[in-house]
Chains A and B, each alone.
Chain A
């Protein structure tokens, strides 16, 4: 774990796509006038015949991807988060998730977006997609991934290229520190124990996993043993790892840069309330919209919504006192 190196998720995605393109000849990549930003244009240079830019037309992007998948292609369609679930939900639902070709569940389309959550920064509230997990989670047949670092991005891109079915993967705009080691394996529906602990659990996804690790370190200084879970697979959610955490640590803090309604916190609450109910505190955007923040102000924007390691530690202690 080289904690201080910050890497870019989109570059990792770009490289992983080219690798997937070499390994799987059926992989095609589609974009909607954001291919330089998403860095999918690299795939276009490597495989010009398998790369399509359909212009600023996201519904079109999704439906064309679906049509290609119906003809045996593995479609990767990418643009900003705000323009996919936020704009083309009908095409996603009826065009990708609903069809059952030869009994299979959904068409083989991977929607990979960047600029999820508040950390989009300067573009402001109109571009900060804080509803996508909720939207994508309720569409049957879709699997939803929120990778915490570039390593997860690479490995999940490979997984999606290999595994049949509709996926949604949300990347963050800022560079991120690595939280996983090179040997870490990623499986759909399997949460990752990134730090063990016995007094409390913080379950996070995306850029908040790193914050959770920092919170755990703070708690450790105060003599509290905090477990940290990377719940990158929001759907399917890993009920086993959650039940174990509930049973062994007694309560769970969730954290995400998404509306607290319908996101990771909701998914975890749903699972734990049925398996081993314990108190849960959800940290996230408090059902409000974001706003512009310069890159160096993004931590402050997140802080406004309580998305900080300090708040995670604080809530953990509060919940712990409450339950003891």
Chain B
């Protein structure tokens, strides 16, 4: 399909919602393991894999083998989003007469492997890879195995075989979510080291205890280790795997079981359980309110932007916001595409390029070529035809499209036709031109005005709050509807960027919990609020959420 970062993200969100819908309708199924691999499937289906939903047996297609077959709802949902079958077919999951069997099955066109019995999919993939080599085909084989599944000896038989036959057309993802049916993998059969306590977070803190990669390296594989929920990291790893010759590649993807729904995350209970109908509206709302933190590097040391980018990377920023100013549209000058090109090799984190320049249509190609993942231009310097040109060109070249409006600007009427396909809308909360300004309070009111227009025009992108966003006002921005947050001095200005980002996330998370509790209260009063709270059993979540509910007098 070749979609941009933002479209992939949106499709992953749609797929997750379908997993909830399908497992709820079925009354059983495996949402946890479907969610841990959601981004991996997203990158494969919507960017890297070659296939044709209308001709699922096309010989030149790339093959996806879901060896951890119990995550079938995840596979089917991604396939529905990719166009193999309509969404409503997911309602037949696990039911009599359905093509969507409880475990992936060739009865469903497009499914490549009958999964269910664990440990066999990697060998099967080697068979496909070897057949491809015999026939001199250039299609690729992507296989997803689980960490629990790696208990099976056949995985290691296959590991040796792939190395022997140099199946470099095979790329394996290990969905390393640390949970199997009975408990944490490190308790049942450690791939890394024994888990000492009951807190999985312990495993995440100390990379020296991760041994899984060593195992695969010892078996003769090219090993890439990534965060399996970061689209940009998955994307980069797939590219690396494609260019690696004579050796198979495994991408060890550290993931979170149940990722994106707080009460399912890291919770072994959600390995194989379906959500009940009454909590679905909250789960949907939660999935729709994922948020991103984008530090703006111009708030840092302008003489050493390289270092600022590195600080963003170690700080685990979601995007890096690049404010380009030309000294014409705004009085200041920052940098241009030449600088962006220099910064690009430093990280794979998406570049969120905000062009505060005159006549952006003239330079759009340069900024895209420099490595921007999304480019936002100002409505004030565009009209329908020039923005149309920008919009179409960026879409065709897999770059996200953003539109920005200044504090005193409304969304122009000519832009309405582009709203459904916009990836991002920046509602400036300071007058652009320099860093460190104070948030303009009337922006909240403006947001309340804009939201109905966006809803009416079917906006499906992300609103980015940009300008004077701080720990104090970020909850209000979230409540307004913003889902991406540009942090200038409030993040980059801080000594410890990682800490600052963590703090931002914590505050937004609290605000999101409030939003979900409000929804529960509106839909089912105290009873549903209590039920929602009780679902959150891992770590300190339950106490924290309960406190919010009590403060709001829902219980």
Interface residues of A, Cβ cutoff 8 Å to B: 28, 49-50, 52, 54-55, 57, 59-60, 62-73, 75, 90-91, 94-95, 98-102
Contacts of B471 in A (CB 8 A): none
| Mask of B136-179 contacts with A, CB within 8 angstroms, 1/0 | 00000000000000000110011011000100000000000000
Task: Indicate if B222 sits at the interface (CB-CB under 8 A).
Answer: no
From the candidates A60, A65, A72, A94, name the one contacting B116 in the complex (CB within 8 A).
A94
B538 to chain A, nearest CB (A): 34
B131 adjacent to chain A (CB < 8 Å): yes
- Residue B117 is within 8 A (CB to CB) of chain A in the complex: yes
Question: Once the chains bind, are A101 and B123 in contact (CB under 8 Å)?
Answer: no
Closest A residue to B158 by CB, please name it: A60
B18 in the interface, Cβ–Cβ < 8 Å? Answer: no
Q: Which of B124, B125, B161 contacts A54 (CB 8 A)?
A: B161
- CB of B130 within 8 Å of the partner chain: yes
Other-chain residue from A50, A68, A94 in contact with B120 (beta carbon distance below 8 A): A94
19 further A-B contacts with Cβ under 8 Å, apart from A63-B127, A72-B135, A91-B120, are A28-B131, A28-B134, A52-B130, A54-B161, A55-B161, A59-B157, A60-B123, A62-B123, A63-B123, A63-B124, A65-B127, A67-B125, A70-B112, A70-B128, A90-B120, A91-B123, A91-B154, A99-B105, A101-B106
CB closest chain-A residue, reference B109: A102
A75 to B123, CA, bound (A): 14
Query: Which B-chain residue is minimally distant from A54 (CB atoms)?
Result: B161
- A90 to B, closest residue via Cβ: B117
- Write the nearest CB–CB distance from A267 to chain B, whole angstroms: 27
In this assembly, does B448 line the interface, its C-beta being within 8 Å of a C-beta of chain A? Answer: no
Q: Is the CB–CB distance between A98 and B157 below 8 Å? A: no
Cβ-defined contact, A71 with B132, below 8 A: yes
What are 16 contact pairs spanning A and B, CB under 8 A? A59-B153, A60-B154, A60-B157, A63-B122, A63-B158, A67-B123, A67-B125, A67-B128, A68-B128, A68-B130, A72-B131, A72-B135, A75-B127, A91-B117, A100-B106, A101-B106
> Looking at chain B's contact residues, is the secondary structure mostly helix, strand, loop, or mixed?
helix
- Inter-chain contacts of B124 with A (CB < 8 A): 63-64, 66-67, 70, 95
A63-B154 contact, Cβ under 8 Å, with A55-B161, A94-B117, A95-B120: yes
| A98 in contact with B114 (CB, 8 Å) | yes
- Residues on A with C-beta less than 8 A from B153 are 59
A71 CB, nearest partner CB in chain B, Å: 3
Cβ of B244 under 8 Å from chain A:
no
A55 touches B114 (CB 8 A): no
Q: Measured between alpha carbons, how far is A52 from B161 in the docked complex, in Å?
A: 10
Residues in A neighbouring B116, C-beta threshold 8 A = 94
Central interface residue in B121, B124, B130, B153, by most chain A CB within 10 Å? B124
Mask, B289-327, CB within 8 Å of A = 1, is 000000000000000000000000000000000000000
Query: How many angstroms between the C-alpha atoms of A67 and B106 in the bound complex?
Result: 13
CB-CB nearest 3 A-B residue pairs: A67-B127, A63-B123, A71-B131
Q: How far is the CA of A98 from the CA of B165 in the complex (A)?
A: 27
CB distance from B206 to the nearest CB of A (A): 34
- The minimal Cβ–Cβ distance linking A135 to chain B, given in whole angstroms, is 16
Report how far A171 CA is from B308 CA in the complex, Å. 71
Q: State A91–B157 Cα separation when bound (angstroms).
A: 14
Given the known inter-chain contacts A63-B124, A70-B112, A95-B120, please indicate yes or no for A55 contacting B157, CB distance below 8 A: yes
The residue in chain A whose Cβ has the minimal distance to the Cβ of B125 is A67
In the complex the two chains form, is A55's CB within 8 Å of B160's CB? yes
Of the listed residues A50, A67, A94, the one surrounded by the most CB atoms of chain B closer than 10 A to its CB is: A67
CB-CB under 8 A from B132, the residues of chain A are 71
Chain A hits for B120, CB < 8 A: 59, 63, 90-91, 94-95
| Distance from A47 Cβ to chain B, minimum over Cβ atoms (Å) | 10
B494 at the interface (CB under 8 A from A): no
CA distance A52 to B134 in the complex (A): 12
Residues of B within 8 A of A55 (CB): 157, 160-161
Instruction: List the A side residues contacting B107 at CB < 8 Å.
Output: 100
Cα of A73 to Cα of B130 in the assembled complex, Å: 10
A57 touching B134, Cβ below 8 Å? no
* A110 CB, nearest partner CB in chain B, Å: 14
B396 at the interface (CB under 8 A from A): no
- C-alpha spacing A50/B121, complex, angstroms: 21
Q: Say if the beta carbon of B57 comes within 8 Å of chain A.
A: yes
Nearest CB in chain B: distance from A51 CB, A: 10
Interface residues as binary, B93-116 with A (CB distance below 8 Å gives 1, 0 otherwise)? 000000000000111000011101
Query: Is B126 engaged at the interface, CB distance under 8 Å to the other chain?
Result: yes
Least CB distance, B140 to chain A, in whole angstroms: 13
**Please, which residues of chain B bring their CB within 8 A of the CB of A62?**
123
Nearest-Cβ distance from residue A17 to partner chain B, whole angstroms: 16
Q: Do B134 and A49 have beta carbons less than 8 Å apart?
A: yes
Q: Which residues of the partner chain B approach A54 to less than 8 Å between Cβ atoms?
A: 157, 161
A71 to B126, CA, bound (A): 11
Interface residues of B in 195-249 (CB under 8 A from A): none
Query: Inside 8 A of A50's CB, which chain B residues have their CB?
Result: 134
- The interface residues of chain A lying within 8 Å CB-to-CB of B114 are 94-95, 98-99
Point out the residues of chain A lying under 8 angstroms from B128, CB to CB. 67-68, 70-71
- Closest chain-B Cβ to A272's Cβ sits at a distance in Å of 35
Per-residue 0/1 for B24-45: is the Cβ within 8 Å of any A Cβ (1 yes, 0 no)?
0000000000000000000000
CA distance A64 to B107 in the complex (A): 20
CB distance from B530 to the nearest CB of A (A): 43
> What residues of B have a CB within 8 angstroms of the CB of A28 in the complex?
131, 134
Contact of A64 among B57, B117, B161 (CB under 8 A): B161
Is the beta-carbon distance between B127 and A70 smaller than 8 angstroms?
yes
Compute how far the CA of A62 lies from the CA of B117 in the bound complex, rounded to whole angstroms. 13
B117 touches A57 (CB 8 A): no
A28 to B153, CA, bound (A): 25
Bound together, the chains give a CA A94 to CA B126 distance in angstroms of: 17
- Tell me, rounded to whole Å, the shortest Cβ–Cβ distance linking A35 to chain B: 15
**A64/B106 in contact, CB under 8 A:** no
Q: Complex formed: what's the CA distance from A251 to B106 in Å?
A: 45
Note all chain B residues with C-beta closer than 8 A to A64: 123-124, 126-127, 130, 158, 161
B403 CB to nearest chain A CB (Å): 46
CA distance A68 to B134 in the complex (A): 10
What residues on B are CB-neighbors of A94 within 8 Å? 114, 116-117, 120
CA distance A62 to B129 in the complex (A): 15
How far does the alpha carbon of A91 sit from the alpha carbon of B114 in the complex, in Å? Answer: 11
Output the least CB separation between A102 and chain B (Å).
6
Contact B154 A59 (CB under 8 A): yes
In the bound complex, residues from chain A placing their C-beta under 8 Å from that of B122 are 63
Query: Once the chains are docked, how many angstroms separate the CA of A65 from the CA of B127?
Result: 6
Q: How far is the CB of A257 from chain B (nearest CB, A)?
A: 30
Distance of B433 from chain A, by nearest CB (Å)? 59
Q: Which chain B residues numbered 249 to 278 have a C-beta less than 8 Å away from chain A?
A: none
B160: chain A residues at CB < 8 Å are 55, 57
- Find chain B residues with CB under 8 A from A66 CB: 124, 127
Q: Shortest Cβ distance from B51 into chain A, in angstroms?
A: 15
Q: Is the CB of B157 within 8 A of A57?
A: yes
Chain B: minimal CB distance from A72 (Å)? 7
Contact A71 B161 (CB under 8 A): no
Please give the distance in Å from A159's CB to the nearest CB on chain B: 23
Say whether B127 contacts A68, CB under 8 Å. Answer: yes
A73 → B minimal CB distance (Å): 5
Residues of B within 8 A of A70 (CB): 112-113, 124, 127-128, 131
Q: How far is the CA of A60 from the CA of B121 in the complex (A)?
A: 10
Q: How far is the CA of A70 from the CA of B112 in the complex (A)?
A: 8
Chain B, residue nearest A53 (CB): B164
A residues within 8 A CB of B117? 90-91, 94-95
Q: Which residue of the partner chain A has the closest CB to B131?
A: A71
B445 to chain A, nearest CB (A): 59
B153: nearest residue on chain A (CB-CB)? A59
CA separation between A75 and B165, bound complex, in Å? 17
Please give, as numbers and ranges, the residues of chain B lying within 8 Å of A90 by CB-CB distance: 117, 120
